[in-house]
Each structure stands twice: as C-alpha cells, then as structure tokens.
Amino acid sequence: MNEPSALYQDRIVINPEIMVGKPVIKGTRIPVELILKRLSQDLDLETLLAAYPRLTINDIKACLAYAEALVEGEELLMTSPAFRQLWEGEDEQVKAYRQFVP
C-alpha cells in the first residue's frame, strides 16, 4: 500500500505567494481545504470534477492523503499534560462527564 505522503507530496504544494500559503493542488489555485469541504457536502466526484475541470481523481486522492497525514500526526488530546490536569482536576463539568466515561 502507498504511504499517504507519497500520494500527496508531488501534488500538494504550500507557497506563501499562492492563496496566502494554504495547501493547494500543484499548478492550480484550488485549496485542499475547498476539496475536503466539497467532499464533506457531496461525495459525488463527477459534480466536483465538473466544477473544477483541471482537477483529477489523483488530485482528490492527494487531498485525502494530505488530510490523513495531518490527522495521523496530531497528538492525542488525552495524552497531553494539560488534558490530564483538567481531567483529574475538580472542575464540576468535567467531574460530571467523567461518570459517563470508563
């Protein structure tokens, strides 16, 4: 199976002079964020491809791989010291929530 980074590194670029540095599909001004938003609203790829004729299926896959790589690299909130301090503290709302979590 291909590594997510291999899927997007040749297709997703970040350049401060293009869309204020947002990740975009190489050779376009189409932000990754826009593609992800459109996919979340309507999974019909034909509609998306018709709206953006320069877009390809591989570009869409690259956007998804880029998002996957970002999420995969995130620190889990529950392991952070700040979360642990809050979780183990005396905040009434947190105490009430704790009763529902194993």
Per-10-residue mean pLDDT, the chain, length 102:
65 93 95 95 92 95 92 65 74 74 62
Which domains occur in the chain, in start order?
4-74 (1.10.10.10)
Q: Give the model's pLDDT for residue 65.
A: 92
Q: Give the model's pLDDT for residue 1.
A: 43
Q: Give the model's pLDDT for residue 8.
A: 86
Q: Give the model's pLDDT for residue 50.
A: 95
Q: Give the model's pLDDT for residue 9.
A: 85
Q: Give the model's pLDDT for residue 12.
A: 95
DSSP single-letter state for residue 91 = -
Identity of the amino acid at 33: E
Identity of the amino acid at 87: W
Considering Cα of 72, then 73, then 76, then 77, what sign does the dihedral take?
negative
